[in-house]
Amino acid sequence: MSEQERIPFEEALKKLETIVTKLQDGSVSLEESVKLYEEGISLSKYCSSILEEAELRIERVNSA
């Protein structure tokens, strides 16, 4: 389990928003941009998986 898998969804989303802001303002080096991009992709996948799990749980409750 990676570090971000242990953080709450809201915290992961906030980190992702911070990364997007840094990448958009263009103030980081190319190397840092690549690192931020990689971290952002990982956080995005993590957030998506949490949302998918929540959706499945809601569907199960509604179908019961």
What's the average pLDDT block by block, 10 residues per block, for the chain (64 residues)?
Answer: 73 97 95 97 96 95 90
**Domain containing residue 45: CATH number:** 1.10.287
Residue found by looking up tokens 């915290």 in the block: 11
pLDDT of amino acid 6: 79
Measured N-to-C along each axis, helices 30-63 and 9-25 cross at an angle, to the nearest 10 degrees, of 150
Q: 10 is in which domain, residue-wise? A: 3-63
pTM of the complete model:
0.83
The alpha carbon of 15 is separated from its chain's Cα centroid by a whole number of angstroms, namely 7
pLDDT of amino acid 2: 59
State the total domains in the chain.
1
